[in-house]
Amino acid sequence: MHPAASVIVFTVASGAGYGLLATLALLAAAGAIAPSLRLGLAGFGLALALITAGLLASTLHLGHPERAWRAFSQWRSSWLSREAVAAVATYVPAGLLALLFGVFAPGRGMLVLLGLLTAAGAVATVVCTAMIYRTLKPIHAWCNRWTVPGYLALGAATGLTLAFAVLGACGERAAQPVGLAALLGLGAAWWVKRSYWAFLDDVPAASTPETATGLGRIGKVRLLDPPHTGESFVTREMGFRIARKHAHRLRAIALIGGMVVPAAFVAIALVTARPLDSIAAALAATFALAGALVERWLFFAEAKHTTMLYYGATSA
């Protein structure tokens, strides 16, 4: 599939934003962080900014962005519509929590309620985003058991790393346990992505020219002539190809640059003092986001649509 920049930015920014938002919301609900204007602006402000930027970027992939509001109408059957509903619904408790956390002094019960609702909304929105791809049966690389864990693991890893950097910069005591959680999140993301790529390499797609044409019982099916000789929307958007050697190189970059290196910087930040710890935490967040962009590009570039079987592909 053609890796559209708008969708890559959307999934990375919103995933990191929701991961950061869920982390701060749970910390607020647990009483691990105290209300303050500085943390409200730096933490919740950054989370909501990333989420908003991601959602706005997603509309750029639409043929008619002005009709994006129609995405809310099919929530009974469409995961895209459910994602839109969940995203907007999450803004309500998240906005109230950010406002109360940064400006007012809310009661303990209110913090717990809004914190839990915000965290649940963030997780639900990421799951809905992942299910958009998980339910696309014509794409073997997406319609498998690793897609939803991949989205959740990447969002948690980037969100926790960002939270560690923000809390450390604000001098919060909760930065230490969040840093340890970030190490676990990066490790989980590393394991999930390794497992996902192993699945792609080892488990063949169910669709072949033989199954697509129904002629497999006769023998091997090969293409005589393509449907057309010129480029079309189908070949451009669904026929994107990446060489195996380039894919493996980019996988290594995503794993090492986006997970191993950030984990090393988090570890450095945990055992050093200011200002080195803040610099290391910021570098960890930067590398994690950069690695997520590479991973997300591969997520789309390595996907094959069954339509390409009619253009000469041997499997999809």
**Residue 265 belongs to domain with CATH number:** 1.20.1630.10
The pLDDT score that the predictor gives to residue 1 is 73
Task: Identify whether 13 is part of a domain.
Answer: yes
Residue 193 resides in a domain = yes
In a domain, 306, yes or no: yes
Q: In which band, very low, low, confident or very high, does the pLDDT at 143 lie, cut at 50, 70 and 90?
A: very high
Query: Does the pLDDT of residue 313 top 90, yes or no?
Result: no
Cα dihedral 74, 80, 86, 87 sign: negative
Q: Is the pLDDT of residue 69 over 70?
A: no
Dihedral sign for Cα atoms in the order 166, 171, 172, 175? positive
Give the structural domain span for 58.
5-311
Please tell me the least confidently modeled range out of 68-72, 87-91, 149-153, 195-199. 68-72
pLDDT tens string 144-161 = 999 999 999 999 999 999
What DSSP string runs through 53-115? HHHHHHHTTSS-GGGGGGGGGGTTT-HHHHHHHHHHHHHHHHHHHHHHHHTS---HHHHHHHH
Tens of pLDDT along 264-290? 999 999 999 888 999 999 999 999 999
Residue 109 falls within a domain, yes or no? yes
Give the pLDDT score at 187: 98
Residue 209 inside a domain? The answer is yes
- The number of domains in the chain is 1
Give how far the C-alpha of residue 299 lies from the chain's centroid of Cα atoms, to the nearest Å.
10
305 located within any domain: yes
Q: Name the one residue in this structure whose structure tokens are 């717990």.
A: 112
* Site of tokens 């994602």: 83
192-225 pLDDT, tens digit per residue, is: 999 999 999 998 887 888 888 888 888 888 877 7
316 occurs within a structural domain: no
Please check whether residue 253 lies inside any domain of the structure: yes
**pLDDT: which is higher, 249 or 310:** 249
What is the token pair recorded at 14? 């919103």
H or E element, residue 312: none
Query: Average pLDDT of 55-77?
Result: 73
